[in-house]
């Protein structure tokens, strides 16, 4: 079974330097499956879950502790107006 490899520009018979085949065309008959292209898991999924959990806990903790931290900030910046800070 020969594959049609003619691009329409020139054929091997038209060019004298292309009279012999240097690289034979190999046609694969195997169909690629999931097993051939499966990327093995490295176990990083649980680390990503743990880090995202820690980020959310720290974010909520900092948000909820703003009332506790406000007197410390007011002591360090005595001339600031905190009424407009929200």
Evaluated on CA atoms 7, 8, 13, 16, the torsion sign reads negative
pLDDT band at 70 (very low <50, low <70, confident <90, very high): confident
Whether pLDDT at 10 is above 90: no
Compute the distance between CA of residue 70 and CA of residue 61 in angstroms, rounded to an integer.
14
pTM of this prediction exceeds 0.75: no
Q: Kindly provide the b/e burial profile for residues 8-20, where b requires at least 16 CB atoms within 10 angstroms of the residue's own CB.
A: eeeeeeeeeeeee
Average pLDDT over residues 52-81: 88
């Amino acid at each position: 079974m020969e594959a049609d490899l003619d691009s329409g520009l020139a054929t091997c018979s038209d060019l004298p330097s292309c009279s012999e085949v240097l690289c034979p065309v190999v046609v694969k008959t195997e169909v690629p499956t999931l097993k051939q292209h499966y990327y093995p898991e490295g176990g990083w999924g649980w680390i990503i879950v743990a880090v995202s959990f820690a980020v959310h806990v720290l974010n909520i903790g900092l948000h909820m502790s703003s009332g506790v931290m406000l007197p410390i900030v007011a002591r360090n910046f005595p001339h600031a107006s905190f009424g407009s800070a929200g």
